[in-house]
Amino acid sequence: MKKTTKIIGSLGLMAALSVSAFAPVMADDLTYSATPGSQDITINLTVQATTAVVTIITPEDGSTIVGTDVPVRVSYGGTNQLDYKLYYIDNGTPVLSSEFSHVVAESGVATGEDTFMLDLDDYHGYGEYILKVKTVGADPAEASSRFNAVAFDFEPRGKEESTNNPIVTILESPGTKYSKMTVYKLNSDEKVLGPITVAVNENGETDVTLPFAQNNIPAGTYKVKGEPYDANDNHINADKIRQVTYTPATVPDVPDTGSFFADMNLSNSDLVSTGLAMLFLCVLFLILAVAKKTRKSRR
């Protein structure tokens, strides 16, 4: 009976040692124990995952990025290297812009996250892109994300000459199809004008005249909020707020003088001065006519 116990115990110990020999290859963690006087050996084995996985967390597929600095965050497992490819969408056609690799483990395989910044100014700047990533190994995993990099901003650019209406200029804003412009009181969210929907020139500047005079807005400083939208009517999270100052233009008191005089923009004072001058001329002509007639009668 004792011999049998020794043989079984020896076999268990040999099995444990054999597993230990292969542990660096097939396990992350291996422990074993034997109870004195017992033929049982307990082996705890944690098997390492060998299936490669990869997921692009950011930028999200179908997302809109404001600006050209794109934070990239990739989750991976079962690999030691990630191969990236960046494509620029040129008139609907993906064009390869860059290829690069990141080593995530010097030996064996690893699980974790790869994070870095992608500067689109190094490629085509604003526009639509596709980022692809692939694990290195016998059974590689792949992931891709399509995203759009856009811009939006505007600034005050003076006033309209005839009305003093404030003018704001939407700067070149690739990816922005239109903007809603709303005017608020300076120190509150009380709306005084808008929203006014303005089509945006993506490849140039867009001037917007805010109709303060037509809406009888009093003099003062106001805040103007611009809300950009893309071609699919999705609101782009890049709202801007700027300040404008408005002083109503001094408009002469123009009476209804008919179609002929309307374009002359004559004020009441202009008409009074003109009337007095014409009255003076009429009196003068009358005096001259009477004097002439008197001289004739004396002859």
Q: Over the stretch 74-103, which tens digit does the pLDDT of each residue have?
A: 999 999 999 999 999 998 999 999 999 999
Residue 116: what pLDDT?
97
Contact 160, 209 (CB under 8 A): yes
Q: Which two tokens stand for residue 299?
A: 């002859």
Residue 81: what pLDDT?
96
Longest dimension (CA), the chain: 177
Residue 279: what pLDDT?
77
Global pTM value = 0.57
Exposure b/e, 257-275, CB count within 10 A at least 16 = b: eeeeeeeeebeeebeeeee
Beta strands at 81-90 and 166-170: parallel, antiparallel or unpaired: unpaired
d(CA 31, CA 207): 73
Residue 138: what pLDDT?
80
Span between the terminal Cα atoms of the chain, in Å? 177
d(CA 145, CA 114): 15
d(CA 132, CA 98): 11
Residue 283: what pLDDT?
78
Topology of the domain covering 53-150: Immunoglobulin-like (2.60.40)
Residue 202: what pLDDT?
80
Residue 264: what pLDDT?
55
Query: Which residue positions in the chain have pLDDT lower than 50?
Result: 1-28
Residue 109: what pLDDT?
92
Q: Which two tokens stand for residue 43?
A: 């082996």
Beta strands at 142-150 and 63-66: parallel, antiparallel or unpaired: parallel
d(CA 267, CA 193): 30
Cα four-point dihedral sign 102, 104, 110, 113: negative
The 10s digit of each residue's pLDDT in 112-164 is 999 999 999 999 988 899 999 999 988 899 999 999 998 889 999 999 999 99
Residue 56: what pLDDT?
97
Give, as one character, the DSSP assignment of residue 214: G
Q: Domain 154-246: state its class.
A: mainly beta
